[in-house]
Amino acid sequence: MYYLPELVIVAAGFFVLISDLFMPKHHRKYLPPLSLGAAAIAIGLLLANVNVAAEYLGGRFVISPLTTWFKIIFLLGGAFTVLLTWNSKRFERITAPGEFFSILLFTQVGMMCLISSTDLASLYISLELSTIPLFALAAWKRGDKYSGEAGIKYVLYGALASALLLYGFGLLYASSGSLDLRVVGDTFTATPLAWIALALVISGVGFKLTLTPFHFWAADVYQGAPTPVTAYLSVASKAAGLAFMFQIFFGMFGAQLAEWQWLIAALATASMTVGNLIAIIQRNIKRFMAFSSISQAGYLIMGFIGPYPEGAPAMLFYMLIFAFTNMAVFGVIMWYDDETGRTDINDYHGLSKTNPVLALVMLLALFSLAGVPPMAGFVGKFFLFSIAAKAGMHWLVAVAAINSTISLFYYLRIVRAMYIETPTEGQRRLPVSPVMQTTLAVTTAGVIFLGVIPLFYNLIERHLTDWLRWFAGW
């Protein structure tokens, strides 16, 4: 029963969904802790069996340390998102909170199945399960034109990406005669048809992971969507994109990976450069974070340049760090938006005087995103860069490191607003709810300690290599 975590989330999703029918309004405040509890139980179950490998449904649903760690990251992203919405003043006004949380939980199930599936059909279905409900979440702020725009854009781009992906899968099936990922990979021959199929599949991956040139939806959707949804998109949904890319690159084409190096390097270079350069001119902090996330995706996929035993732990570790770091940033953005209704970078002026602790949280998280030591983000990036260096791509390391410097330039703009500019007359200390305090404390602890304490990386690394050894023997 190692698929119990999925069942827990499904059950919680259905319960929350129908709760709107019978639950009195004043009891709805129990929905966030309920969703959170489900996520906690699922994470607990996963952690208890973290080193297990198993197969279900005739090998179509696999459990391995890799899938387990991915699921932990998805659930963490989901749990943080629930924490952000809890106690939010704006969220108290939303209609049907039950639907909101159930949609969130269902996308989690989609992500969890995504990393566990081994054939094209279930891969596609779980990917859609993790994407389509998000269209609704992006447009959740009823009557807000930006939110509406976000929803529409997300639907249009998402549908296009999905169609391309499905076309690609179809061609792969046609050329190999099998839906099984490994069979498709093993029988892969470099025919023009296969190349077209791959190009189509990669555009689907690029959409989910916001890689340049498939990133165009990100800025508007990030800006318009409610802030917790933006946070969810940038963390959990991105992790799902990474999981999907794992399935394609390691799962399907693990054997031919050496041939991919240049493609990955080109995608990484484009994403980080474009993301960083456009981020410089942004004024809205959520748009800004969209471009920042695009560049982060560029760093992230550098892990695919190396072979699986090195790339997988480095990328998983970075994703874990990124989940904590980005959630810390979005926590502050959410809180500030909630209290003042402002989302412009310049609106953060003087925050270090009115709320020094929150400003410090933001500072540390931004430095972690920029890859400044000793924050966790640096350690994660260092491991990724190391993979590129090992493959002899020193130019890519240079590009990535220079990009980190550029990113520091724009992260410092926020720091400047918070620390160097003075607060305006009458700007007062803003209250922080206990839930928000807890969320920020947890995420900040992650930002500081994930990189310094070697435990987490070593754990991920050991589990994955142990499993790999076992897998190779089997």
Partner 1 sequence: MGGPVTWLVILPLITALAILAVSSNRTHVFRWVALVGTGLHLLLTGFVTWQYWVQASRDGATTGDGLFTKLYLVERVPWFESLGIQYLVGVDGVSVAMIILTSIVIFCGVLVSWHVVERAKEFFALLLILVTGVFGVFVSFDLFLFFIFYELAVLPMYLLIGIWGTGPKEYSAMKLTIMLMASSALILVGILALHHGAPVPTFDLTQLAQHSYPLAFQSWVFPVIFIGFGVIGALYPFHTWSPDGHASAPTAVSMLHAGVLMKLGGYGALRVGIYLLPEGAKEWALVFMILTTINILYGALAAIRQKDLKYFTAYSSVSHCGFVLFGLVALNSIGIQGAVIQMFSHGIMTALFFALIGMVYGRTHTRMIPEMGGLGVRIPWLAACFYIGGLASLGLPGLFGFVAESHVFLGGFFGNPWIDTTLTRTLTIIATLSIVVTAVYVLRGLGTVFQGPLDEARFGHLTDATLTERLGSGILVAVLAIGGLVPFLFLDLISPSLVPFVERLGDALIRLGVL
Question: Contact residues for partner 1 (CB under 8 A)?
Answer: 367, 372-374, 378, 382-383, 385-386, 389-390, 394, 397-398, 401-402, 404-405, 408-409, 412, 415-416, 419-420, 454, 457-458, 461
CB of 336 to partner 1, least distance (A): 20
What does R_g of the chain's alpha carbons equal in angstroms?
A: 21
Long-range contacts of 13-22 (CB under 8 A, 24+ apart): 13/102, 13/105, 13/106, 13/108, 13/109, 14/102, 16/98, 16/101, 16/102, 16/105, 17/98, 17/99, 17/102, 18/98, 19/98, 20/96, 20/97, 20/98, 20/99
Nearer to partner 1, 159 or 455 (CB): 455
Distance CA 107, CA 235 (A): 13
Which residue's structure tokens are 């005739």? 58
Distance CA 152, CA 220 (A): 10
List Cβ neighbours of 444 (8 Å cut-off, separation of 6 or more): 328, 361, 364, 365
Nearer to partner 1, 60 or 353 (CB): 353
CB of 401 to partner 1, least distance (A): 3
CB of 207 to partner 1, least distance (A): 30
Nearer to partner 1, 191 or 405 (CB): 405
| CA angle at 423 for the pair 420 and 429, rounded to the nearest 5° | 120
CB of 372 to partner 1, least distance (A): 6
CB of 65 to partner 1, least distance (A): 15
CB of 31 to partner 1, least distance (A): 39
Are 207 and 214 in contact by the 8 Å Cβ rule? The answer is yes
- The number of residues in the chain equals 474
CB of 220 to partner 1, least distance (A): 29
Are 308 and 185 in contact by the 8 Å Cβ rule? The answer is no
Distance CA 299, CA 307 (A): 16
Which tokens is 456 given? 């987490």
DSSP letter string over 352-370?
A: HHH-HHHHHHHHHHHHHHH
| Backbone phi, psi, residue 189, to 5° | -125, 145
Amino acid at 432: V
| Backbone phi, psi, residue 180, to 5° | -65, 130
Nearer to partner 1, 277 or 408 (CB): 408
Nearer to partner 1, 188 or 385 (CB): 385
Longest dimension (CA), the chain: 70
Residues forming a β-bridge with 54: 63
Which tokens is 384 given? 């990724």
Nearer to partner 1, 190 or 401 (CB): 401
Nearer to partner 1, 56 or 409 (CB): 409
Q: How many CB atoms lie within 10 A of CB 147?
A: 21
CB of 299 to partner 1, least distance (A): 13
